[in-house]
Structures are given as C-alpha cells and as structure tokens.
A and B are shown apart, each in its own frame.
Chain A
C-alpha cells in the first residue's frame, strides 16, 4: 500500500486516504476535434512498465488532485506535484533522469 506526499497538505498520505485517477497530462479534445484525437483522449492510456505519471486525489484529506511520478515496477516515487500544470516540473524530470538516463520522456 503506497504512501504519497500530498503537495498541498504536506503530509504523507496513506493509499487508503487517496483515490487514483489514472494517467496524468492528458489533453482534452472537445467538439470540433477529429475522431482519432478524440478516441486517443478518451480511451488510449499508457500502461508502462516503469516510469509513469499519474493523477491522485487526496480524497479523505484536502480533496485536491495532484500528480505523482512513480515507477510501476519498483514503486519508487520521484515526486508529487500540483495538478495545475501542463507538464511535469523540471525537478521531477531531473529526478527521473537521474535514475533512468535512458528514459525517453513522459509523452
């Protein structure tokens, strides 16, 4: 059972205080978008064996959504950060790269 630091509350939150929300940094496609773009937005999800960017909500806590960069195999957490961003902050990317120089990026 994971523990993630809520970047808003600053507390280490037990997984049972959290709600997982799947892949982070999706771009929404609305009316006017192509079928392909919309399909990708709605259904296509990464399922990497390794570094993954995820959405979590501190549901029993502050109720806020945040993002976590996490390794799905080793369960290493490279960091958590505000959900109000279009891409991961540089320090998170640096933390991942420090451990995985071969990592190709989150996109």
Chain B
C-alpha cells in the first residue's frame, strides 16, 4: 500500500564503503520439513530458486531463498507480492506441518558496497568474513544485535537485522565505513 514505509526510507552514506538501506524488501519466514518435495516446489514457485542447502542462499531473477536453520527458510521477494505468495504457499502446504509468515516489515536490510565491504562487516561481526563466498549466508551478530549477512557479489554485502534496531545497525555500518578506518587486511 502506498503509505507503507521502511524503517529508514532508503537512506545511504558514502564512506570508504557505501552503506545503503534497502527500502521495503519482502521477506517470508518458512518453517517446515526442508526435505519435503511440496515445500521445495512452493519455494521454487515463490522465488524461482531451488531449495537451499545448509548455509546457502540461492538467487533467481524473482527472489532469493536462504537456509536459516534445519527447519527454517527465509524467502526474499518483492514487498508488495509477499502477502499473495504467502497465501499461495499456505494453500500449497495445507496438508503439511508448516508455518509461512510475513516478516517483511520486521526487518531492516542494508547493503555495504565497495572493495572493503567484507572489512566493514568484519569490524562488527565475529564471523569469518573472508570465507564468505557469494551464495553463502551467515547468521551471526553485528556488535550487540543479531544479523544475517551474505555477499551479493564480491563487493556487496547484504545484511538483515530487526527493524527496531535498523537505526542502530545503520549507525554501526556508517561508523565502520568512516573514511580513515581502512584496515586493508
């Protein structure tokens, strides 16, 4: 709907990396049996992506599907289409034990862009960013809040955290990307 707004309205900051909030991203939490063929089909229909394996995030033109835990996925889709996708998935999984729920508005999403994108994340997260190839997703923390991140490409890190701490996360990333903070490991 027209009056919808994201936590941070697509704001951005240019430091030695660029930090951008991604306005209104559709996100769906799915809990269920990841071995289920029906679920795999529903995920494919929803995102165009295959069922991701442990630690994976798979992308297609339509969306992404990320492995969050042995019985949880995160689907990333168009914000406006999320409710319809959820209804379709719920119908497709009606006779399975599954939970499909809209979390689009519960999240804030940021991109860190630049040669040192990994480095900016490494200032905040104890995860080993150097091993994170595109297609891998890591759930960890940045400073004091939980976050998940993956490399969209070699120079773009995408981070997802809770909406309520969106400003905190943005401020953290800005601070980490301040000129002069280059580490160049």
Which residues of A are interface residues toward B (Cβ below 8 A)?
8-12, 14, 16-17, 59-64
A5 to chain B, nearest CB (A): 13
Q: A60-B140, A60-B141 are in contact. Are A9 and B55 (CB under 8 A)?
A: yes
B54 to chain A, nearest CB (A): 6
Q: A60-B141, A63-B69 are in contact. Are A10 and B55 (CB under 8 A)?
A: yes
B140 to chain A, nearest CB (A): 5
User: Contact between B70 and A62 (Cβ–Cβ < 8 Å)?
Assistant: yes
User: Contact between A17 and B55 (Cβ–Cβ < 8 Å)?
Assistant: no
Count of interface residues, chain B, beta-carbon cutoff 8 Å: 15
Q: A9-B54, A9-B55 are in contact. Are A62 and B139 (CB under 8 A)?
A: yes
Question: Chain B contacts of A10 at CB under 8 A?
Answer: 54-55
At the interface, yes or no: B179 with Cβ under 8 Å from chain A? no
Q: Classify the secondary structure of B's interface with A.
A: strand
> How many angstroms between the C-alpha atoms of A12 and B147 in the bound complex?
16
User: Contact between B138 and A8 (Cβ–Cβ < 8 Å)?
Assistant: no
- Total A-B Cβ pairs within 8 A: 39
User: Contact between A62 and B68 (Cβ–Cβ < 8 Å)?
Assistant: yes
> How many angstroms between the C-alpha atoms of A16 and B144 in the bound complex?
10
Q: Which B125-145 residues have C-beta < 8 A from chain A?
A: 126-128, 138-141
Which residues of B are interface residues toward A (Cβ below 8 A)?
54-55, 68-70, 72, 126-128, 138-141, 146-147
User: Contact between B146 and A60 (Cβ–Cβ < 8 Å)?
Assistant: yes
Q: Classify the secondary structure of A's interface with B.
A: loop
User: Contact between B69 and A60 (Cβ–Cβ < 8 Å)?
Assistant: no
> How many angstroms between the C-alpha atoms of A60 and B126 in the bound complex?
11
The 5 A-B residue pairs with the shortest CB-CB distance, nearest first, are A62-B69, A14-B126, A60-B141, A61-B139, A60-B146
Question: Chain B contacts of A62 at CB under 8 A?
Answer: 68-70, 72, 139
User: Contact between A8 and B69 (Cβ–Cβ < 8 Å)?
Assistant: yes
Question: Chain B contacts of A64 at CB under 8 A?
Answer: 69-70
Question: Chain A contacts of B72 at CB under 8 A?
Answer: 62-63
Name the CB-closest residue of B to A63. B69
Given known contacts A14-B126, A60-B139, what 20 new A-B pairs fall within 8 Å (CB)? Answer: A8-B54, A8-B69, A8-B70, A9-B55, A11-B127, A16-B126, A16-B141, A17-B126, A59-B146, A60-B141, A60-B146, A61-B138, A61-B139, A61-B140, A62-B68, A62-B72, A62-B139, A63-B69, A64-B69, A64-B70
Name the CB-closest residue of A to B54. A10
Q: A9-B55, A10-B55 are in contact. Are A17 and B69 (CB under 8 A)?
A: no
Question: Chain A contacts of B147 at CB under 8 A?
Answer: 60
Question: Chain A contacts of B54 at CB under 8 A?
Answer: 8-10
